[in-house]
A and B are shown apart, each in its own frame.
Chain A
Amino acid sequence: MSNLTLTANSSITSLPAVPEWRRIMNRFLGHRGLMIGSVILAVIILAALFAPWLAPHDPYVQNVSQRMIPPIWHDKGTWNHILGTDKLGRDYLSRLLYGARISLTIGISAAVISGLIGTTLGVLAGYFGGRVDAVISYIITTRLALPVVLVALAMASLVGGSLQTVIVLLGLLLWDRFAVVARSTTQQLRDAEFIASAKVLGASTPYILIRELLPNILSALIVVMTLEMAHAILLEAALSFLGIGVQPPSPSWGLMVAEGKSYMFFQPWVIAIPGVALMVLVLAINLVGDGLRDMNAPEGRS
């Protein structure tokens, strides 16, 4: 017996003793997609936060004499307007920076609202099962059958498009994936021992759900959060592009594409710049989401 413990100990010490945070850090640094995504996302968030200081001009001030100046890499570009100006003479870079605020605000707010709705429904369905599960699953199925873009368009048109409308609408429409994931992860954990022991200790159901269960399904929900953020940002851009989302003169990136549409044949950069900005932002969020999912996945630990 003593022999066994001895060798067991020595085999453990032979492995490098790495603290938990260092291991997480190493995996974070080792995941190229996650690294690239987080760096880009951090840059965009900082740019949005510090837009008032970074923007060279007021994004709303029109200047008819300075219309449609091309960006710096064109022959006629000027350093005064690095990314050029739009059809009303507004500085494109400044609008782009302020536009990041709109995209991020909508992405985060809509994902938080839908996350609250979806997680609540999913956890209840997964934890209680039976009839509660049947009803909630039915609600999820019904929600999935509703065409999101059409319903959002129709309702935004009736209510009147604005930043708040878009946030609430998308928040109310995009909770399905949260519900599905929260439900299945809760089902897996429902009979886990730590839940059972909390029950035996006489913890109330809300306590068990919020203090015991939620922290354990959080990592899966954060991954969904990134996906839905990206989804909401793209939908906002589409709604604004169609004229029913965020209203002018707000510098929403979708709206910038719409406003540039009539100039795009001769000045393609007008739609290229906001479009690429949208794509890069969504790409960064998706890379972060994929990376977090890989880090959560058990096979990623080996």
Chain B
Amino acid sequence: MSETRPEAFEAEAPAAAPRALRRRAGGWLVLGLGLAMLVTIVLVTTLAPLLAPFDPSATSMNSLDGPSARHWLGTDLIGRDVLSRLLWGGRTTLLITLVAVAIALAAGLVLGLLSGYLGGWVDQVVMRVLDVVFAFPVFLLAIAVVAALGPTVPNLIMTIAIVYTPAMARVVRGPVLSVKRWDHVEAARSVGMSEVRIVTRHVLPMVASPIVVETSLTLAQTIFTVTALSFLGLGPPPPDPNWGGMLAEARQFMELAPLTVLGPAAAIVFATLTFILIANGLREVLDVGSRR
């Protein structure tokens, strides 16, 4: 191109290329920041048993202490170390989030691929059922299911997986609908490739980008849902600390010990921001949904 029409290349390139490049570089920067934050959270929470200075459920006489050399973030109402509880609480919150989203992703992939690739009555049935689940406000449905089943870690994981599967399935189905009509899929079929192989080798890779972005956005929303459920008292059962529950507990006496509120609040914001940054970075880098 540059050899045949050098003057055109020179005229267009300076205007267009730097902006696209700069955007992509910005995307990598945001993605890198998000991933660094993710590594930090994962490291800090998995190493909680080593890092936490105190037993998260050990009470003491120092109720609602301010920050000190002994208790960096002070203590809560019954004298438990806030920092240790934050570290341990992150484990539960993150575990539920990651496992639930992984299940929702798997279920969404299966349903979306089946629905989009096979089409016909399969598509109709799957989409109509998902429409019904979609009609419920996500958070309300989560509350109803957890309230009915009882708030345990497996129930929370299952509930959140159920609640986010429809959105995931839709994100998978949309692009599959168009990709399955592309020539390379037809070509693969004409050389006698099995349908399963076509889907996994020739359809899935083409639709991976929007799914990856949606997954990281879902992770951010799930942090919200998990912590909000715990905030309402529908989190993991009491002796184990969790961020939403800590925030709710601290609310009553927060004017006496602001750090008991600020700690979990900062943790929730940090975790949500992590996944939002990753999602936005991925969106720019993978060029999903051409945004200007």
Binding partners A and B: no
